[in-house]
Chain A
């Protein structure tokens, strides 16, 4: 197929670019890469926590996408399809690094259920609950990183990137109810971590 000029490409709609790229118009493919690379790179930073792995993930994802593109049927949005490739690559990297994918490492499984029978402090208006608080930023990052890989991924896709439970269920081949329950458990875990910070000592008090 004839290659399209770079200037003309910038004006094309995504589905036109996809059609051209499927027919191996590489300039069209590269325009798709340019439009989506920041999303995938930032996803890699969040999921894998460092620039080197994020750069690897970015490259692998678009190489895989290049090979798989002729089979792309447009049943989902192109970006959703890319995220599917990227998350699968991220899971492989996590496995290699022996990051647990589904098991909570430190927390006991029943810790979620214990809380509500006790007094729940409302720290939502605490003056420290603000992103100018460097300690809190570090805590958020550390807590999200402490989630098992698949929970972290689902939390990020759902609560940070804004994908719907249906989209995530298709992306990760999970049932909708599994996605929902993992979103919920991740939030419980994170809320619990933040609560411990805002009310240091509250947990010990409660457990007496």
Chain B
């Protein structure tokens, strides 16, 4: 199999969703092919960096935003009652 064929398998491997029938083949290929190994490592790093970055950025809902939403919801409750 050419290296290209391994790319999507590497993605599934990272998700632990790779079928057993491909697993041994991929692991063997990774141990022999520097390119695919580099691809695997950088793909994995891309995902962890992105995940960590967005988790760091997570914030609370600003009070004013939340208050505004509840205000609108309460208008709707009244409408529904009528």
Contact = CB atoms under 8 A, between A and B. Distances in A.
A156 B57 CA distance: 13
Contacts of A38: 58-61
Given A156-B54, A160-B51, A116 B73 contact: no
A30 interface: yes
Given A59-B68, A190-B46, A117 B4 contact: yes
Secondary structure at the B interface, as helix, strand, loop or mixed, is helix
Contact of A120 (B17, B35, B57, B76): B35
Contacts of A175: none
Contacts of B38: 120-122, 124
Interface string B20-38: 0000000000000011111
B65 interface: yes
A191 B43 CA distance: 6
Given A37-B61, A113-B4, A156-B54, A63 B43 contact: no
Nearest to B74: A26
Contacts, number: 128
Contact of A191 (B8, B34, B42, B72): B42
B12 A180 contact: yes
B53 A131 contact: yes
Interface string A96-121: 00000000000000001101111111
Interface residues of B, number: 47
Secondary structure at the A interface, as helix, strand, loop or mixed, is helix
Interface of B: 3-4, 6-8, 11-12, 15, 17, 34-39, 41-47, 49-62, 65-66, 68-70, 72-74, 76-77, 80
27 contacts: A33-B73, A37-B61, A38-B61, A41-B61, A46-B54, A51-B62, A59-B68, A116-B3, A117-B3, A118-B35, A119-B35, A120-B34, A120-B35, A120-B36, A120-B38, A123-B45, A124-B38, A124-B42, A124-B45, A131-B49, A159-B47, A165-B15, A183-B15, A187-B43, A188-B7, A191-B42, A191-B46
